[in-house]
Chain A
């Protein structure tokens, strides 16, 4: 909460922005609770940013700390660019959730607990020797103790549920209370419950009863002194139609928009199940009506192979994975580079090495994306900054892949994949157009005849008469496309492949400054999903009177052609990254500048304060 005041007449206090975290057992429905709170927040007109944090285990043993599932939402009127550093209100449905999540609660923050869940068994599983609700261990917080289990059971009693079924309605009671606290409506949630449980009207009615009971509890019950209602102002946003969008949806719809923009009939999206990338396969599997054919391959290698096979026919081949799976696709990327075929590769990065922490986000595949192949194998690499940027980056990836006949890697991450933000919905008519053309003219044709401007080779659909040709991974002659082991030719082809990718720099926007001047004492340079926290931290530093600018790099291979010159206009360059220092090394190598690293490798996104403090400490 940035500021507080009492809104006159309403009896509610005003908050500029609030961070709420719903935490409970994996089976407590915290993700659903958070998503519905997000929807009501959006409909109330606030800006927001969300961050789901769920365990790797599908159904971890109930009551354990490793089974805690949480959903965080930051919402307010201005500058909501991150899910929030510290939590204002923690809803802890059991002791395990309290012990895991209370460490992120602000001093003086509110924690709402279900007293029934704090029984001996659950306390033991969470590692509490004593009940924290009965000693002074939570003295720094405002603790609101409600018997949510009993209050829910009472509310759903008329519907004749089993005690197990009644227990599952607790999350709606908690949601009802939180919606009351922030003056949100319940209508969209009620509508959603009716839809979700259309075939189980009793369950729907019970959940609605629990939701209403939680809301009424806030409205009418004799309030403990700390339970007060708040008003959060609406955000000032560009006029238009909005919706929430997750990074996964942004990528899926961006790929479809890119397909349209390129005028390509069909996309073959081939994937293999892997956390956190699978959601993209699931989303696209429902988009057949948009020319998307999805293929769940036998492994990551086959997924990339099938995508490349599709590109060979003139369709748009797309494959997706996370770090360990991208590693397996490496040889196919090499073939795509050698045969100069378009291929879009989405990497939803996660913490590694090896299996690492599959559900935790990291930005540690930058080296893999830029350099992780045998031989001199350049390709284009882009990174998405926000969930809505995922849409635009996917379109741009399709443009570059088809225009330059090259694989393009899009770096997303586990955080972006699941996070959600409001998105101003574009209209198809306003989207870019970059129609591809397939070669059909046999006159003077050979498969590696280059476009003098882009250096791209022609794209030929098998089925085209008189253009029958053979391509493959063996080196080929620059002037005929036939297999060649000629030493000078190999040097020429290696240079042609490098020049083609380097030339993309002429076709992408110049590097801009996201915030601040284009010269000065310090540039904080970031890429990918750290955009929000870096931007906020730079804003804080500037408010403190520091000479700091924020530079956000979207194009990581090739870099924008003015990037080096821009960075050299700053005395110092600081590079916060969710890895052990990768972009910083690329910048140092490319521009010979003494860029400094600010790494974070905890599997959690940066907090604004961490970056703000690092700036102060310089």
Chain B
């Protein structure tokens, strides 16, 4: 993120909307994400001309067209690479990478790995709908085993990748998860990501109404949410359930979590603890899915260190001196 000092006269969320008609399917979770991002922008008072949304290809990648900021819709999977070049050339810009599970973890998996480990100062928002939407419904790298799709008519036999687990493994220093329908939580999570200097990775569970409808219902459904999600907060005990009656703790003598009644020794969330974040990222039923900032442990960002090494050079070195370096000789007529 970039420290924003000049603000437009208090912009409203709608001021971050472009004049383009939004073309996602009716009911798509992307609408909720667009709304949350615009709300976060307004609450953060982002300066439109200094903000750039970069995307690859896919439904999520249409995002920049709907923002009134600068935007670059690039090629499939490559947004992290292009965003890295943008930050290297102009570290003052506030750059967001909007990506999906296919774009960011399949065709662009390599770029995602390296942008995270380098810690380039970007907000990387990964819309995870566990499916390829724009190409009409093939299984994706986050699709669960057994997913039936046009390319897996008998069900997928592949094991899915965990987006947050991947990010943590890549060395990301900010990893968070939220849900398209958890509007307030999502806005707060995006703002936390923006406040983090370095690569901020936010996975958003997003519903694809056409090709993978209700795939997260077991986590996000109103009836089950309280038991199927745990909202983690730094320094607070890891509690969940309708009345926070359930707690997570370390199984004695093992590096493994277990569910116990609240009141016993619940684990306190420490967002600077990478092994704990890995445990939380990997939680699967019957455990609740972890939501919120799983990991946040800042360090100098990549482009910051690049320029620190350059020692504030203005780039005005003497060209004649360069061309005349090493041995030269004079030819006289």
Residues of A within 8 A of B (CB): 39, 42-43, 45, 188, 237-244, 253, 256-257, 260, 265-266, 268, 270, 287-293, 295, 297-299, 301-315, 317, 331-332, 334-335, 339, 424-428, 461-474, 482-483
Contacts and interface: CB of A to CB of B under 8 A. Distances in A.
Contact of B82 (A309, A462, A482): A309
A426 B320 CA distance: 8
Contacts of B67: 470
Given A313-B90, A470-B71, A473-B57, 12 more contacts: A45-B331, A239-B333, A243-B323, A253-B319, A302-B84, A426-B323, A462-B86, A464-B49, A468-B68, A468-B69, A473-B73, A483-B65
Nearest to B57: A473
A309 B89 contact: yes
A472 B74 CA distance: 5
A305 B78 contact: yes
A266 B88 CA distance: 10
B88 A306 contact: yes
Interface-central residue, B65, B71, B72, B73, by most chain A CB under 10 Å: B72
A266 B85 contact: no
A332 B306 CA distance: 24
22 contacts: A43-B329, A45-B331, A240-B330, A240-B331, A241-B324, A253-B322, A260-B319, A288-B311, A295-B88, A299-B110, A302-B80, A305-B81, A309-B89, A310-B85, A334-B75, A466-B49, A467-B49, A468-B68, A469-B70, A469-B71, A470-B70, A472-B55
B105 to A, nearest CB: 15
B64 A472 contact: yes
B114 interface: yes
A238 B90 contact: no
B111 to A, nearest CB: 6
A298 B113 contact: yes
A329 B90 CA distance: 23
A309 B85 contact: yes
A422 B75 CA distance: 43
A465 B51 CA distance: 11
A450 B254 CA distance: 66
Given A305-B81, A468-B70, A469-B70, A289 B86 contact: no
A68 B64 CA distance: 55
A291 B322 CA distance: 13
B85 A308 contact: yes
B327 A42 contact: yes
A309 B91 CA distance: 12
Closest 9 CB pairs of A and B: A309-B85, A291-B315, A472-B73, A305-B81, A306-B85, A289-B317, A470-B71, A302-B81, A315-B89
Contacts of B90: 313-315, 461-463
A425 B328 contact: yes
A308 to B, nearest CB: 6
Interface-central residue, B309, B319, B324, by most chain A CB under 10 Å: B319
A460 to B, nearest CB: 8
B18 to A, nearest CB: 7
B92 interface: yes
A238 B331 CA distance: 7
Interface in B281-333: 306, 309-311, 313-317, 319-320, 322-324, 326-333
Contact of B84 (A289, A309, A334): A309
Interface-central residue, A256, A298, A467, A482, by most chain B CB under 10 Å: A298
Nearest to B302: A295
Given A240-B331, A313-B90, A470 B81 contact: no
B48 A241 contact: no
A470 B93 CA distance: 15
A256 B65 contact: no
A188 to B, nearest CB: 6
Contacts of B332: 239
A109 B249 CA distance: 84
Contacts, number: 210
A301 B78 contact: yes
Contacts of A428: 319-320, 323
A25 to B, nearest CB: 27
Given A309-B86, A470-B71, A242 B331 contact: yes
A291 B323 CA distance: 15
Nearest to B74: A335
Contact of A237 (B73, B92, B306, B331): B331
B33 interface: no
Contacts of B168: none
A311 to B, nearest CB: 8
A302 B86 CA distance: 12
B37 interface: no
Interface in B26-62: 48-50, 52, 54-55, 57
Given A242-B328, A308-B85, A315-B89, A256 B319 contact: yes
Contacts of B81: 297-298, 301-306, 309
Contact of B85 (A45, A307, A463, A468): A307
Interface string B2-33: 00000000000000001010000000000000
A260 B322 CA distance: 13
B230 interface: no
B187 interface: no
Contacts of A464: 49
Nearest to B73: A472
A45 B331 CA distance: 8
A243 B85 contact: no
B319 A257 contact: yes
Nearest to B306: A293
B324 A243 contact: yes
A462 B65 CA distance: 15
A326 B331 CA distance: 40
B323 A270 contact: no
A465 B7 CA distance: 12
A310 B326 CA distance: 31
B266 interface: no
Contact of A270 (B18, B85, B110, B320): B85
B276 interface: no
Nearest to A257: B319
B317 A293 contact: no
B83 interface: yes
Interface-central residue, A45, A309, A428, A468, by most chain B CB under 10 Å: A309
A270 B78 CA distance: 14
A303 B309 CA distance: 20
A332 to B, nearest CB: 7
B210 to A, nearest CB: 20
Contact of B93 (A335, A462, A473, A482): A462
Contacts of B55: 472
A287 B317 contact: yes
B85 to A, nearest CB: 3
Contacts of B113: 298
Contacts of A474: 73
B328 A243 contact: yes
